[in-house]
Amino acid sequence: AQSVTQLGSHVSVSEGALVLLRCNYSSSVPPYLFWYVQYPNQGLQLLLKYTTGATLVKGINGFEAEFKKSETSFHLTKPSAHMSDAAEYFCAVSDRNRLTFGEGTQLTVNP
């Protein structure tokens, strides 16, 4: 069975600082990995995904993530946080028929 662990349910950064949101996964097959963002009372929006090939994946809004098979990780980063990045972020792994989500990380950006 697939599983996802997001380390840190709440992360707080200053505007302009590095954003690092951690995700570790467990999968019995080569994984497909996703990061989604959710703004209050809205649905989820895809930030980026890893399928095969290049392990550094670039997404929307300046985010990127690196797939590290040896560490079973897919951490999300952004060099410089903006106030508009404040939201909840979900990491997910696919088992071909369904997605399994982590519990989410709430990102707060302080002025």
28 lies in the binding site for other proteins (CB under 8 A): no
Q: Which range of residues in 12-20, 45-53, 55-63, 69-77 is near other proteins by CB under 8 A?
A: 45-53
Q: Computed from CA positions of residues 3, 28, 97, 69, in that sequence, does the dihedral angle turn out positive or negative? A: positive
DSSP bridge partners of 56? 66
Nearest distance in Å: CB 32, other proteins: 5
Site string for other proteins, 80-99 (x = CB under 8 A): ----------x---xxxxxx
| Token pair in block for residue 53 | 């090939």
Ramachandran region, residue 8 (left: φ > 0; alpha: ψ -120 to 50; beta: rest): left
- Asked whether position 44 contacts other proteins by CB under 8 A, the answer is yes
Residues between 57 and 76 with contacts to other proteins, criterion CB under 8 A: none
CB of 46 to other proteins, least distance (A): 5
H/E element holding 74? Answer: strand 73-78
CB 74, CB 50: distance < 8 Å:
yes
Kindly list the residues in this chain that would bind other proteins in the complex (CB under 8 A).
9, 32, 34, 36, 41-46, 49, 51-52, 90, 94-99, 101-104
